[in-house]
Every structure is written in structure tokens, then in C-alpha cells.
Chains A and B, each alone.
Chain A
Amino acid sequence: MIESGHGSSRGPVSSQRRGGRVDKLIDIKNVRHAYQTQDGRLPVLDGLDISVPEGGFVAVVGPSGCGKSTLTKLIAGLMKPDEGEVWLHGKRVTSPRSTVGMAFQNPVMLEWRTILKNVMLPLEIVASKMSRREQEERARYLLALVGLEGFEDKRPSELSGGMRQRASLCRALVHQPDVLILDEPFGALDAFTREDLWQTMHQVKAKEPFTCVLITHDLRESIFLADQVVVLSQRPARTQYVLDVPDTGPRDLDHLYTPEAAEMLNILRHQIEVAQGRAPAQPEADEVPEPPPGSTAQGMV
């Protein structure tokens, strides 16, 4: 769960233990990072603390350019933080490791490969001892799971944006990573396709459990998919607010139209406005962000 970062946390911060699971599969401790630009140092992360239990699903939201994508690169080990530590499964992350799967807003399919071969790509690198046939079976299984059965031998250019994103999801999961990092994967899709994919995410998670960090701009997406939503402040980013979503596990779209969902969206929207500096930090009396009913952690399946 999320811990407070050096007095930066203004929202309710919870820290619970869950029996039987790794409590902190991802543990980000007081991470600071800055980029060197032509205009000097540009701090992007300033004391970030996030931890995700095994099987957890954390959505990270925040104003544009607040350093969310930097966060994904730190977890993936593509970058090292200037200060602070990133731990994955009890090991400190200092370089890329094969236990991570990534998907981006741009599905980056390799156009010269078929969909099946695209999905098999990570296996060629991390699971070379797996036989070709096993690799293919694994890829076909995942493609069927996301509803792409029959498209295995198509080229990416023959698929729609939503289908490419489904294939990209399969590629991120094919090597059974400990951690799935999704960097605005549904951002470029139309609203209906996006909602379809949200439901697919729940279906996939039921069959192929994963621990996930989702970067998103879509508040509805965050409460529909995640167990916990983390709001980051304006750059340089700190953990500003943490929201526990009461209904973990598979949900259907009706959940987005309940009073509880409206309440959560309200809170999150207010927090984003705070992060952008467009609203005072102290919410109005009737908006006090007490955790919505049932926010105690439930088993996640």
C-alpha cells in the first residue's frame, strides 16, 4: 500500500497487510529524479513512495507532464533514480529484468511480423529454453483470451487500433511477468473500444493474475480497473493522495454509474485540480475524502 512520503501526503494514507501474499511486490521508496536539459536540471520526481502488493492493481493519475512515464521507466529498470530505491520482489532494481511486461499508448507492433510472432517476441529473449511449439501455444492462448482468435497470422497493419492494443497486452503478458506496467495503453482509443478493453483487462486478470501499475489520464478507467488510485502532484511529482477502491476484483461497467463511483470520481477530480493548482488543498466540508464504504481491503482475484 502507499506510505506517506516526507510530509507530502495530504490524503488518507493506508498501510495494510495482506496475509499469504507478498506485501510489497513493488516498493518505491522516497524516489527523486531529475533530467539534465539545456536549461539545467529539471526535477520530475520529488519524494515518491508507492508500494503494490502481489496481485495488486494500482492506477497512477496526475497532471500532464508530472513524471508518470518516468515512474514506469524506473520500475522497469530502464533508468536509475538519482535518489531513493526501487525494489521488485525483494530485489533492488538497478537494471532491466525480464520479470517486467510493458505496454504503451503506442502499441508498437513490429510491422514485419505477424501478430502471433509479435506476441512471441519476449519469449524469444527470456525463454529461449521453451520450445518453439510451447511458445506458440502460449501466445495463441493469450490471443484467444483477449478475443483475437483467428488473427494470429495477420500483419499488425491489418488490425484496428483496439486490436493492436489487445495484441500489445498479450505481448506484455506472454512471459508471465511479475509486474505489468501499462503506460496509458488505452489513451488513443475511442470511448467504446476503451470500455471493451477495460472489461477484457478484468477477464484476463481472472485467468492470468498479474500485479499491475497503470498510468492513465482517465479517472473512470482508474476506478474501474484498479484497487487503489494514486494521485501525483504537479511536477516535481510527490504522492499527493491515495484512494482505495472498495470493489476490487471483476466489475462490470454498471459500477461506473453508482453513487459510490460518482463520489470517488468527485474526490479524484478535486485532487487533480489541487495538483494543477486550480483548487485549494483543503476540500470543502462536504467533500471530505473519507474512504468510501467498504474500502477495507478485500481479497483480489
Chain B
Amino acid sequence: MNPDALLTCFASSACLVTQVTSGFIIGMLLFLVAVGLTLIFGVLKVVNFTHGAFYMLGAYFAFTAYGLTGSFVAALAAAAVGTGLLGVVFERWFISRVYGGNVLMQLLVCYGFILIFDDVVRIVWGAEFRSMGMPDAFMLPPFIVAGGVIPAYYLFLIVCGLVIAAGLGMGLSRTRLGKTIRAASHNPDMVSALGINTGLLYACVFGFGGLLAGLAGGLAAPVRSLTSGMGFSILIESFIVTVIGGMGSILGALVGAILIGLIRTFGTLGFPLFTEGLMYLFMAVVLIAKPTGLFGKDIA
């Protein structure tokens, strides 16, 4: 417990800026993972417990692609495309076999795959921590705002996250594909009866969710150390985000992710031992007060 540090920080603009920025980058990475999770749940009614593994694989794909080409763009592309394709294959071959409410089987299939992915990563990339290093393009002097230091890469991450959030929101509400996806989440049988290939749609949504998680992994690679099992902690956090924001809501995922990011950074200052506990506490409060989450409709 160290509430004094928290108060001192609130009194200093430099500290506030630094903390809020790092809260936002945690929030943006969480958002990219959580929004895929919430999208997949909204349409397929399946909670993808392997979603953290996609994040992990994205980070490792980026690591390898960056090592081979030296280009950060190529690294991000490898992360996104690799996990996106994996998502499509995973949905078509495995997850599609356990649709229809049997939660036990869904959990088991995902549990099996988490074990396999974690071990494959250990076999291919080794058990030790890896780090990708900051790309040269971002080796810039940090921005100074009100005395607080903001590294250029952090700014890039935040912009990326916000752009993707805006794009997703627009895409789902305005485009034909977005409308089809929303329709399928309400009544898949009717959508299918109207001549739309729902199987293909499901694979696309799952692949896209995997792509976002992989992209998050790729974006996280320069600022996080890579290890097998890194996916599970972000999975739990993105669950908390979706519970807080409400399953199926993109705005909820964004707000929930940023809230969790801020709780994490300020919690580390004030309650270093209980940072994780604060997130769960917050989740429990939301669950008791509004079981469907802050922006959730009654689908729970």
C-alpha cells in the first residue's frame, strides 16, 4: 500500500501525463485483443479461449519477420496475416465442430490448443525470454508534454488503436459486410436463408478477430518481452475488459480496455501488491451493479 505515491502523482502534471500515456498503451493493446474476442462472441456465440495464443503467435511472427527483413511494416504484416489465416483454419477445422452450446467441449478444445500452441512456441523459438527491440523508425527523441515524457512509439500505438477502433465502428455500422455481420449475430438462420454463406462469414469473423489479436501481438513486440504463455495473462485481462464493457460491444471494449489500462498504471503506483486485485475488484463491482457490462445489451 502506498497511497502517498498516488497523491504525489496526481499533484504533478508530468507524472500524470506519463502514467496516463502508459495506461493508454496497455489499454490499446488490450482493446485490440478484446475487440476480436467480443466480435467472435457476438457473431459465433463462442468464447475463444485461445485468443491469447493468437496474440502470442502474432508477437513471435513479428519477431521472426523483423529478424529476417529488418522492416517493421513487414513484421506487422506477418503478424496480422499469419494469425488471420490461422484463425480461419482454426475456425473451419476445429471450432466449427463444437458450436451449439456445449460449453464443456468448447473449453476443452481451446484448452488443448493453448497447451499445443505454448509448447510449439517453446519448441520453435525456445523457452527463454525474447525481445525484438525498437525499430529504427521510432528511435526518435520523445515528446515532452507538460513535463511528461511520451516516447514516439507510444504515440504511434495509441493512434493505431484509435484508428482501428474508429474503422471498426464505421465498418460495422455503415458497410454491407458490417450490416451482414450484425444481422448474423442476431439471427444466423434468417441470414443463411437469405442466401448468405454463414459458414464463410463465421470463418471471416474468426479470422479477422485472430488478425486483430495477432496485430496487437506484433505491435506489442517492440515494448514487451516475448515468452510462451504470454498470451494467457492478456486473455484474462481482455475477458475482464469485455465483462466490464459488455460482451458484443465495440465501444464497451474500448472504454473497458482504457479503464483497465489506467487502473493498472495508477494501481502500480498506489497499491503495488494489489494491482491485479484492483482489476478483479472493479470487474466484480460492475458485475454486481450491471451484470451485462457498461455498454452491453441483455445477451448474457
- Our verdict on whether A and B bind, yes or no, reads no
A-binding residues in B (CB < 8 A)? none
B-binding residues in A (CB < 8 A)? none
